[in-house]
Structures are given as structure tokens and as C-alpha cells.
């Protein structure tokens, strides 16, 4: 786990910002570990490897910008995206899941999707395809970006501040975050299979 911390510290603010931007709106970003990354850098900030205020500003800004790129891409490509063939970076099933999520939750999906891996990458694209009004999208995008970035970063930060030797348990914490992140997808999959 020290190796992982060393890699994150080595990539620094630019690496964290780039990962959050990619996961928020680029196809290949769907495979990046956004939730666990945010928690981990928050914890590292509590150990003074990062400045938490700078991290927060970068994370929120990159999350909002990434979603904007996804939205613009969806608006530009339109419904052709549903006929695109699967490739290494693109899975049509991910877009269809995001569409189902979007249809089930409406505008709130832009906020809620932030907390669901893979869906968070494709929800802004689907919003663009659906031609959601841009000012509406942008408002929900900002709310989602601020909530997601703040909750996960500061959760890691406060665990690092108040749990003795929290860094020693980081591996288990990351596994728990990943399991909690995929829980909504697993529940939805179960519901669909049951129907």
C-alpha cells in the first residue's frame, strides 16, 4: 500500500485532477477508481502530502469540466452513440445503463450518478444525447461535482485526522469504498434479473 501512496503522491495535483477529469466525461475514464482515489488523497492530505484546500478546488473544477465535456460530446454525437460498436474503451452496455439510470431519475441523475462508478462517466453523455437544457445540466453538474468531491475528499481527510494509523488500514478502506460504490449497480442488476 505504501507503493500506491507513493505513486499518487508522485503524480501530484495534476495526476489527481487529470484522473477526475477523465472519469467524469471520457470513455476510458470509466475504469478509473474515482471514489477510492478521492478518499485516498484526502487521507494523504491529512498527513500533509497535499493541501486539502487546493485538492478540493482541483477536484471540484475537474469534475465539473469533465462532465461538461461529456455533455458536449453527447450532444454532438447524438443517438449515433447507441449504434457504436464495442471497443477497448467503449461498451454500449455502459451507455444503456446510464440511459436507464437517467430515465429513472431524470435531472437528479446528474447528481446521483456522481456516486455510481461507470454511470458517472456516461450520465453526462446521455444528458447531452437527450438534449437536456444546458443551464439545467450545468446547475445539477455543479451540485453533483461539489457534493461528490467534498464528501469523499473530506471523509478521507477526517479519517486520517481522527483514526490512529489510518494509513495502515488504507487497503481495507479502499476495498470497502469499491464495494459500496458498486452496490447500487449490483442492486439494479438483481432487480432487472428478477423481472
pLDDT, tens only, 35-53: 788 888 898 888 888 999 9
- Helical packing angle, 2-25 and 34-46, nearest 10°: 130
Work out the burial of residue 168: count CB atoms within 10 Å of its CB; fewer than 13 is exposed, 13-18 middle, 19 or more buried: exposed
pLDDT of residue 86: 57
CA distance from start to end of the chain: 41
* Per-residue pLDDT, 79: 67
**DSSP labels for 156-171?**
HHHHHHHSTTGGGGHH
pLDDT, residue 164, reads 72
Give tens-digit pLDDT for 92-146: 665 666 666 666 666 777 787 788 777 777 788 888 877 788 898 899 999 999 9
pLDDT attached to residue 51: 93
Q: Comparing 94 with 71, which gets the higher pLDDT?
A: 71
Domain range list for the chain: 2-194
- Element (H or E) spanning 107, and its range? none
The most confident of 18-22, 161-165, 172-176, by mean pLDDT: 18-22
* Residues 145, 61: Cα–Cα separation, whole Å: 8
Q: How confident is the model at residue 89 (pLDDT cuts 50, 70, 90)?
A: very low
Amino acid at each position: 500500500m505504501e507503493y500506491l501512496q507513493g505513486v499518487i503522491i508522485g503524480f501530484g495535483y495534476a495526476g489527481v485532477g487529470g484522473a477526475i477529469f477523465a472519469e467524469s466525461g471520457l470513455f476510458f475514464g470509466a475504469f478509473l477508481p474515482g471514489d477510492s482515489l478521492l478518499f485516498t488523497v484526502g487521507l494523504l492530505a491529512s498527513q500533509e502530502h497535499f493541501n486539502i484546500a487546493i485538492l478540493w478546488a482541483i477536484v471540484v473544477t475537474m469534475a465539473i469540466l469533465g462532465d461538461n465535456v461529456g455533455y458536449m460530446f453527447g450532444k454532438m454525437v447524438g443517438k449515433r452513440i447507441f449504434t457504436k460498436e464495442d471497443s477497448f474503451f467503449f461498451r454500449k452496455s455502459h451507455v444503456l445503463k446510464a440511459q436507464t439510470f437517467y430515465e429513472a431519475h431524470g435531472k437528479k441523475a446528474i447528481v446521483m450518478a456522481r456516486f455510481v462508478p461507470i454511470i458517472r462517466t456516461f450520465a453526462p453523455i446521455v444528458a447531452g444525447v437527450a438534449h437536456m437544457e444546458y443551464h439545467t445540466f450545468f446547475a445539477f453538474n455543479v451540485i453533483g461535482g461539489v457534493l461528490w468531491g467534498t464528501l469523499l475528499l473530506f471523509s478521507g481527510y477526517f479519517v486520517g485526522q481522527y483514526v490512529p494509523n489510518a494509513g495502515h488500514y488504507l487497503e481495507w478502506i479502499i476495498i470497502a469504498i469499491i464495494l459500496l460504490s458498486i452496490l447500487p449497480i449490483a442492486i439494479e442488476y438483481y432487480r432487472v434479473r428478477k423481472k
